[in-house]
Structure 1
Amino acid sequence: MRFHKMEGPFCRGCGTSYFREMTARTLWQGWWSPLSLVLFTPFTLIANRVALGKVNRLPEPSGGHARLQTGAPVLKRATSLAVLLPVAWVIWVIANIINDVTS
């Protein structure tokens, strides 16, 4: 398990770009252990969302600096479909628990 943190002087566009990239990576790579499934990934996603509030308060880009492309929103990226795997697993576990209790 690795945690990444981006630091630096960002404008709003660059911060949004990094937020989307890092959140998409978390959705793709963050579910592959049981501890990550219930602890690390949900808290990382919440921390990313809190960071987005700070990013939205950043100033617009100014000067002649190159601006990063913000890219597609997180939920419109193909990597965000990986979140369906843990959701399917949780549904499967709940269904088996219910089936065990009723039989």
Structure 2
Amino acid sequence: MSTPPSPHPGYQQTPGAYPQQPGPYAQQAPGPYAQAPGPYAQAPGAYQQPAPGAYQQAPAPYPPQQAPGGYGQPQAPYQQAPVDHSRPAPYQQAPAGPGCEVCGAGPATRVTIRGHQGMLIVMRNLWRKGTFCQSCALAVFRKMQSDTLAKGWWGPMSMIITPITLLINLFALSKIRKLPAPTAALGPGLDPGLPVFRRPAGMFGLLPLSGFGVVFLFVLVVLATA
């Protein structure tokens, strides 16, 4: 006995509209999205490595070895001349300690040099105090000593004060003689000049000084024989 055909034939897939047809979702065919050779392709030679020597460093205008006389070692005309240390320069740096108040040289010391001027009725005592080097102090001493020899005797009391003043100045002279020769002067100093007894005032003062010496010796003899 044969089976009749099913009344619901729709459950069986029959070839029809459902099978996938080649269309827009199939494999994309070569079309406008494929990059065509054009302006975005690197042009031959545009960004290629430059030719040898294009960006190479050009030879420097100044050679690596520095030319003599530029910023290197100066040549002979600019080298420092040798210093002669045998003679001290007149304007060297002053040594430590007080300097002379006249010329600024050193070493210097403080001295007081006295003088006396006698007149018939009145008299005048003089002095010069300061810090001097040997040359300036010696100049002041010779001037004050020679003037005292010539002008210090002419008064009653001056006959006694003048020899005392001359004797005190001799102690100052011994202090001056102990100073070394001055160096590093900052300016002109005083000229010591001639010694005391080679000056006109000093030679003239020898007369009253000799008279005082004779009187003094006479007094000593009288006192010794009394």
TM range, smaller chain: 0.7 to 0.9
Secondary structure of 1:60's aligned partner: coil
**1:43-98 Cα distance to aligned partner (Å, 9 max, x none):** 00000101101111234222223121111100011112133146358869x7xxxx
Greater per-residue strand proportion: 2
Q: Which has the larger radius of gyration?
A: 2
Runs (5+) with no aligned partner, structure 2: 1-122, 219-226
Q: Distance in 2 between matches of 1:12 and 1:86?
A: 27
8 A Cα contact 1:14 1:68, kept in partner: yes
TM-score normalised by structure 1 residue count = 0.75
Greater fraction of residues in helix: 1
Q: State the partner residue of 2:134.
A: 12
Corresponding residue number in structure 1 for 2:205: 82
> What is residue 34 of structure 1 aligned with on the other side?
156
Report the count of equivalent residues. Answer: 92
Distance 1:91 1:11, change over 3 A: closer
RMSD of aligned alpha carbons: 2.2
- Structure 1 runs of 4+ aligned residues shifted over 4 Å read 88-92
Counterpart contact for 1:10–1:58, Cα < 8 Å:
no
- What are structure 1's unaligned runs of at least 5 residues? 95-103
Contact 2:146 2:199 in 1 (8 A): yes
Q: TM-score under structure 2 normalisation?
A: 0.37
Match of 2:191 among 49, 69, 92: 69
Other-structure match for 2:167: 46
Distance 2:180 2:187 in 1: 14
Change (3 A) 1:90 1:50: closer
**Which segment drifts farther, 42-51 or 82-91?**
82-91
From the superposition, tell whether residues 45 and 65 of structure 1 become closer, same or farther in structure 2 (CA, over 3 Å). same
Cα distance in 1, alignment partners of residues 166 and 147 from structure 2: 11
